[in-house]
Amino acid sequence: MSVTVTEQVRAVWCCSRCGAVYHKDFPRCPIDGAEVVVVDRDPMLGSTVGQYQIDELIGEGGMGRVYLARHAHLPTKRYAFKVLLGDHSASPAMRTRFTREAERASQLDHANVARVVDFGQTQHGLPYIVMDYVDGPSLVTLIGDTPMPALRVVALAREICKGLEHAHAAGIVHRDLKPENILVTPGPGDAGGVPRLVDFGLALSIDQSDARLTETGMTMGTPAFAAPEQLSGKPIDHRADLYALGMTMFEMLTGGLSAVEGSVMEVVAARTARDAPRLRDRVPELAVPRALEDIVARLTRKRPGERFASAREVIDALDALDPRVLRGEVAEPPSAAASDAVAMTVHEVAAAAGEVAPPAVAAAITPSAPVPPITSPSIPVTPEAASRGVGEPAPAASDPALAAAEA
pLDDT digits (tens, 9 = 90+) for 51-81: 999 999 998 877 788 999 999 888 889 999 9
Task: Give the end-to-end CA distance of the chain in Å, rounded to a whole number.
Answer: 35
Render pLDDT for 76-110 as a digit per residue (tens, 0 to 9). Answer: 899 999 998 888 887 888 888 888 878 888 989 99
Model pLDDT, residue 383: 45
Model pLDDT, residue 102: 85
Above 80 in pLDDT, residue 288? yes
Model pLDDT, residue 360: 46
Lowest mean pLDDT among 127-136, 287-296, 363-372: 363-372
Q: How many whole angstroms separate alpha carbon 87 and alpha carbon 23?
A: 7
Helix (H) or strand (E) holding 53: strand 52-60
What is the pLDDT averaged over residues 239-252?
Answer: 97
Above 60 in pLDDT, residue 220? no
What is the pLDDT averaged over residues 126-145?
Answer: 92
Q: Hey, what's the torsion of the CAs at 327, 333, 334, 339, to 10 degrees?
A: -80
Model pLDDT, residue 260: 86
Q: What is the pTM of this model?
A: 0.74
Above 50 in pLDDT, residue 392? no
Model pLDDT, residue 202: 57
Model pLDDT, residue 89: 80
| Sheet of 12-15, strand order | 21-22, 12-15, 36-39
Share of the chain above pLDDT 90, in %: 45
Above 70 in pLDDT, residue 369? no
Model pLDDT, residue 218: 40
Model pLDDT, residue 57: 94
**Mean pLDDT for all residues in the chain:** 79
Model pLDDT, residue 203: 55
Above 70 in pLDDT, residue 216? no
The amino acid that residue 101 corresponds to is: E
CA 375 to chain centre: 19
Above 90 in pLDDT, residue 7? no
Cβ atoms of residues 321 and 339 within 8 Å:
no
- Residues recognised as catalytic: 176
Above 60 in pLDDT, residue 393? no
Above 60 in pLDDT, residue 140? yes
Q: How many whole angstroms separate alpha carbon 279 and alpha carbon 262?
A: 17
